[in-house]
Amino acid sequence: MSAVPSLPQSNPLSRLQLHKFGGTSLADAGRIAAAARLAAPLAGGASVVVVSAMRGVTDALVALAAVARGGGDWTPGWRALQARHHEAAHAIAGTDTGTLIARLDAEAAALHADLGALAFATEDAALRLSERIWGHGELCSAWLMHAALGGEPAGWARLDARDVLVVHGSEIGMHVDREASLKCLAGWRARHPQAHVVATGFVARTPDGHATTLGRNGSDHSATLLADLFDADAVTIWTDVDGVLSADPRLVPDAVCLSALSYAEACELAYFGAKVLHPRTIAPLQARGIPLSIRNALAPSTRGTRIDAQGETARSPVKGLSIVDDMAVLELTGSGMAGVPGVAETLFAALHAAGVSVTMISQGSSEHSICCVVRAPEAARGRAAIEDAFADAIAGGQVEGVRLETGLCVLAAVGDGMVGSQGVAARLFDGLAQARVNIRAIAQGASERNISVAIAQDDATRALRAAHAAFWLSPQTVSVGVIGPGNVGRALLAQLSEVIPALRARAGVDLRLRAIASSRRMHLGDAALDPDTAGALLGDHADACDLDAFAAHVRADHLPHAMIVDCSASDAVAAKYEDWLAAGIHVVTPNKHAGSGDWTRYARIVEARVTGHSRFMYEATVGAGLPVIVTLRNLLDTGDTLQAIDGMLSGTLAWLFNSFDGSRPFSDLVREARALGYTEPDPRDDLSGLDVARKLVILAREAGRPLSLADVAVESLVPEALRELPLDEFLQRLSELDTPMQARLDAARAQGRGLRHIARLEAGGDASVGVRALPADHACMHTRLTDNLVQFTTARYAENPLVVQGPGAGPQVTAAGVFGDVLAIAHALGARTGWRHA
């Protein structure tokens, strides 16, 4: 087979490059050939290629060894493995397969003998045979890669790592005897002077010459050990992902590939479960300063992740987050521990003797308790060991005992940028708090590169996504449900469709529409719904509306934040706010029923948002898109004192009285407003003044007045005789409004005044809604068309009241007000502000 042509490499001056290929990169002959092209040496340079077994082979060998040890028939599995390697050999070597097949058959014969001996071996002999059997896949892969690279004619030698890599067991795993290994390698090199080497990963030998392995997932470790022994200039581990990711992509779909890490960062992430790195991979390289690249063999054009002494400065102090599952907390408590030397020593000695590894340690300065996080399968053994070690102290009452809590995991935030940076822990804890994740234990080393927290296992995905977004490593994801696809709801969906892509790209906000409902139907989607077409999903085929199921879907456990936007005018929907807010679901609404309805329900809603750590936003209930409520809050929060509120709070009634100058009957104006869509289908809903009264109640409650709708003196512009008529008959008799209204206008003009429909809250709490005759210099006499106007008279704004004025009606304006509340919540959750200029 001809030599494989070289590919461009990143460092043409490197003397020796080491490449490591995992099982996925060697799954079949095609993958092996592609890997050979990636590993082709530089002109004038040398290469060492370390290989794993073909994908799935090691698992098959472990299973075969178990069958053989149990006396079962292992020959079908053995033949299947031999056939798989033969098939790859024929594809790689073509017609010139004789030598390669002979080499593979020799390995297969040795495997056959080992499997046959297992059933009759002693325990010690069986362990040695099993270690040899488990490494068989690497032996065959090395021969296949050797052939794919051109073999001896192309200057390639094949190294069985068991000939040079000498390791011995220790309490912290396999440890290489570097001096012995260097001596073995020197002898091997004297016999194999070729410039390039294909070596087996995973396998090694003990000092007494027995075959062993570095443990599952140990191939990367063996590669870096060989890089040290061969004095490599650089190492590339080829895998099936683009590099080291900022989080597990199965849990955080928006995880990003990290372009560079320091050795320290990589070690922390490896220990805490970064799947692409074995925890012991980094140490041999760190000692020698050899850089490591993690790259994707299936997408070799991607840059991957480089790991070296420096790493690189990132915009976020945290580069990656990892989760370690299936953990437990052991807590030793007792007042007799305070100030007593040796307590921690005794505790950890007991755990050491029981063979229990400690992942996290936490102790308060009071010394009243000390807790450690351990792996759940070891927890009961650890508790028994601690109780035994402190038996006398427990019996004497100095120590209360050992508490065991299971069902936990550990979330670790890692990054060199954390060192000396203020507020990193605050961002992490705030992100978890916003996602309603309770922290059971905290640990941070003096290096400041790692903050670890123990949390409930059930919160793992939500916590990881919330923390990932808190450090702007991914968009802040909010699961959104919209109720009420009427005029305002449709306008809101259109605005969402227009702005969502920019919010995600520039502000780091992912408003993910996952549910939509009308009064009768609902559609729940696991994937994000398209706001443009979401309304069409509510046809007859949709599910019947179930608000509890709707809320449960929006409050998805795997997403950190949830929000329901209620664009209906339903009191039944408002009745659900308390439960939603208590469950941690943020609520945004222009629906006035919650804010102006029953006082006890309103008080429960206010309390629910505190207990649920959620937000209830309702700016659009009063002035559509006008900043009325936020202005009132700012006045009161800064210590101002409210004296009165006057306002035109209905766009419909504002238009009517701005237009009513006596030249046309009042009834004609009502009919025109209805034709223009300014009124409700039944104009009496506007003329009754109840909608304005509800808005006034909302403002009064915001100002701390326990006002209810029954407390407002409301003047209805509909004569009593017309209030209960069918709509058609009412419209026919609409002219009965004209004479009394004209008389009021004439009386006002006689005093130099004009008529406006006004809501007023007095300093003492009296509230009224109705038509008032106002002087010409009153602010409400200078509004336009459907403008709303709210005038705040306060201690600071006594002589010249503060006025908020602008369009107060229309679905687009109201939807914009709702959208503003949605964004306010997103920003409070940690989204980047100033996104338009990012």
The set of catalytic residues is 695
Q: Are strands 439-444 and 450-456 parallel, antiparallel or unpaired?
A: antiparallel
d(CA 622, CA 589): 11
Q: Which amino acid, one-letter code, is at 610?
A: V
C-alpha to C-alpha distances, 397 to 350, 390, 400, nearest whole angstrom:
20, 11, 6
Four-residue CA torsion sign, 754, 760, 766, 770? positive
Q: Which of 367, 370, 277 is nearest to 330 (CA)?
A: 370
Structure tokens at 382: 């650890």
Answer whether 195's CB lies under 8 Å from 154's CB.
no
**Contact at 8 Å (CB) between 202 and 213?**
yes
Q: Which DSSP string do the residues of 105-151 spell out, in sequence order?
A: HHHHHHHHHHHHHHTT--HHHHHHHHHHHHTHHHHHHHHHHHHHTTT
Query: Residue 646: left if φ>0, alpha if ψ -120 to 50, beta else—which one?
Result: beta
Cβ within 8 Å of residue 213, ≥6 positions away: 131, 134, 135, 202, 203, 204
Rounded CA separation 247/815 (Å): 36
Alpha-carbon gap, residue 668 to 663, rounded angstroms = 10
Of 217, 251, 244, nearest to 457 (Cα)?
251
Cβ pair 560, 466 in contact under 8 A = yes
Q: Are 359 and 453 in contact (CB under 8 A)?
A: no
C-alpha 496/C-alpha 485 separation (Å) is 13
Cα separations in angstroms, 702 against 622, 706, 819: 11, 9, 21
Task: Give CA–CA dist 593/698, Å, rounded.
Answer: 10
Query: Residue 200: CB partners within 8 Å, gap ≥ 6?
Result: 50, 51, 135, 138, 139, 141, 142, 159, 160, 161, 162, 222
What pairing do the DSSP bridges indicate for beta strands 305-308 and 260-262? parallel
Q: How many CB atoms lie within 10 A of CB 726?
A: 9
**How many residues in the chain?**
838
End-to-end CA distance of the chain: 55
Instruction: Provide DSSP, 683-717.
Output: THHHHT-HHHHHHHHHHHHHTT----GGGEEE--S
The pair of three-digit structure tokens given for residue 628, joined into one six-digit string: 């009325």
Structure tokens at 798: 């006594």
In 640-783, which ranges are E strands?
642-648, 712-714, 753-761, 767-775
Angle at 21 between CA 319 and CA 82, to 5 degrees: 145
Do the bridges between strand 509-517 and strand 401-414 make them parallel or antiparallel, or are there none, so unpaired? unpaired
Residues paired with residue 234 on neighbouring β-strands, in sequence order = 17
* CA angle in degrees (0–180, nearest 5) for 265-268-270: 105
Could you tell me if 447 and 346 are in contact, meaning their C-beta atoms sit under 8 angstroms apart? no
Structure tokens at 761: 């809250």
Count of CB atoms within 10 A of residue 787's CB? 19
Distance (Å, rounded) from C-alpha 694 to C-alpha 360?
A: 55
